[in-house]
Chains A and B, each alone.
Chain A
Amino acid sequence: MAKTVRETIKEIVYYHLKKKKFLAMGQCLSAVGWVGGTLPELYEKDGMIELSMADVAGGGIATGAALAGKRPIYIIRYQGFNWYNAPMILNYACKSKELWNVSCPIFIRSIAMEGKIGPVAGSSHHSLYYRMPGIKIVSPMTPKEYKGIYEKFMKGDDVYYVSEHRGSFNNHKELIDVEINRPNLVIFAISITRFEAKKAVEILNKKNFRISLCNILWIKPFKVKKKMINQLKKAKYGGLVIDDDYEDGIAKNIANDLSIISNKKIHTLGLKNKSAGFSKKGDNLPPDCKEIISKIEKILVKK
């Protein structure tokens, strides 16, 4: 059977440390299940660095390690912790090449999950990084995508924010775009929403809704295949960007870019504009298949 995303990440980290002699760093790495089983059982002597619980300083330490040429994989167990980890990565590492002509490559493994875990631990927070120059943001959900991103990182010297999702760790399949001849609407899905979007498109197209689906891997710089833009240009009801972060961020930015390229109306769907509580009722989950279908039905009926 093909490798899962989890196994792929684990192999990459092993290669990064044991073969390339670079570093991985973060908090509580060697405990609590080795970050969802994505880390090989390695220790400080191998380059697996346990940091203290100082999140803000941790981002600075990773930045310094990058300046020293150690290409750190910096592991952030819950994306919400980036509120504390981001400052030096964004204000130093991302600017280092431009201001001081010193490269400072970091591979940030920022992991999302959700479901009754409250306002901090839940969901993706990649929009937090989006506005700063010098950062690359990607969200690989398949083994091939993950491997490709790592290889790109190793070839260049940029800072990568790799927006992971635990919901993808068991996945071993590639996700393929759905192209419909003369579609009614094109979905552009990010992160974990890609799995639910796929289901929604299958259901809707059985009912002849004519929905295309474009998988977004590259968020910044925003990259989509030309053929999907052509699909959008032909789509009667425009597009829909779906994200696992609040809509007031990447989703609306991408919608704007797509709208300018295609001259079409682009809708967005993401987390609701509220904090997530711990109870099932009070939670704030990414759009699921049902919500996606309902949103599309509304768009199509309204027109």
Chain B
Amino acid sequence: MRDKNLEIFKKVSFVRHFELQVFKNIKNKNIKIPAYLSAGQEFISSSLSYFIIKELKIKPLIFAQHRCHATYLNFGGNPKKLIDELLGKKSGTNSGLGGSASISSKKINMFGHDGHMGTQMPIGLGACFASKKPTIIFLGDASIEEDYVMSSIGWASFKKLPILIIVEDNNLSILTQKKVRRHWEANDLAKGLKMKSVNIKDDPKDIEKSKKLFFKEPFLMNINTTRLFWHAGAGEDDYKRFDRYEYTKKKIGSIGKEIDQKIKMEVSNLWQKQLEKQ
């Protein structure tokens, strides 16, 4: 396996084990707030952050939605601060005011979310337009249906801004599937609004193919992925899902298992330490 893919796998592994800890701590009631787990979707922000920060050496403005743990962790957020935030402590990313859904960090240029899905699109667009800085905006397959998101994609395209729009398409709006809500894909919309776009799987190889377009012009990526757990909280839906992490781990054999075990311990210790500080 290429080094690059191993590096991305390590990032994914960290987020996966972080989220499994969140799951566990919701179950045992250390975490008492609604939490939106990124588990299953980690490859998207792990790959993107690797290409953008490590390879392109760009530090973008980041606008995420409620399911933002993976974004925060992958783009360089301090995991201890996120643990504290989930525990509602003053030392958290947002002194306990952000919870799980509204994480922000000045250090990594990540802006908070107000809880209204999709508002990060016009707000991120405004910040990008006014600053002309590279800006990455994460949407869900549901939030892209918001009227204000559609019109903002149009204006971003018209103004030719250095903006990268990522649709984390888990095919779900809470529990309602895409096919119940619409008959078009995000890239159809982008095309109509004259913005370049792709509709791909969350395989790092596929994501990498678009790297040359990042922040060069407005660009939308609809990335198909799988949400492993409930919309919020610690629970599993009762149908089988593809899990790219487990799939990749198996594919790369013993080294995958080794990384998995090592990072599992590391994350478990991290949580243990933060919990003991309570």
Contacts and interface: CB of A to CB of B under 8 A. Distances in A.
Interface string A83-127: 000011001100110111110000000000000000000000000
Interface of B: 94, 97-98, 102, 104, 106, 111-112, 114-116, 119, 121-131, 133, 147-149, 151-152, 154-155, 158
Contact of A64 (B106, B128, B147, B151): B128
Given A52-B154, A91-B119, A65 B130 contact: yes
Tell me the interface secondary structure of chain A in the complex: helix
Most buried by A among B106, B122, B124, B151: B122
A100 B98 contact: yes
B148 A60 contact: yes
Given A61-B122, A99-B102, A54 B148 contact: yes
A87 B124 CA distance: 15
Given A60-B122, A64-B123, A65-B127, A52 B112 contact: no
A59 B152 CA distance: 11
Given A91-B114, A92-B114, 12 more contacts: A51-B155, A54-B152, A57-B149, A57-B152, A60-B121, A64-B124, A64-B128, A67-B126, A88-B148, A98-B97, A102-B104, A102-B106
B111 A67 contact: yes
Contacts of B128: 64
Contacts of A99: 94, 97-98, 102, 104, 112
Contacts of A66: 126
Nearest to B155: A52
Contact of A57 (B104, B116, B148): B148
How big is the A interface, by class? 20 to 34
A91 B128 CA distance: 20
Contacts of B106: 101-102
A57 B155 contact: yes
B102 A87 contact: no
Contact of A62 (B126, B133, B148, B154): B126
A216 interface: no
A65 B152 contact: no
B111 A100 contact: yes
Interface in A60-75: 60-70, 72
18 contacts: A52-B155, A56-B148, A56-B151, A57-B122, A57-B148, A59-B122, A60-B119, A60-B121, A60-B126, A61-B129, A63-B122, A64-B124, A88-B116, A88-B123, A99-B98, A99-B104, A100-B94, A102-B104
Contacts of A52: 151, 154-155, 158
B119 to A, nearest CB: 5
A23 interface: yes
Contact of B126 (A68, A91, A96): A68
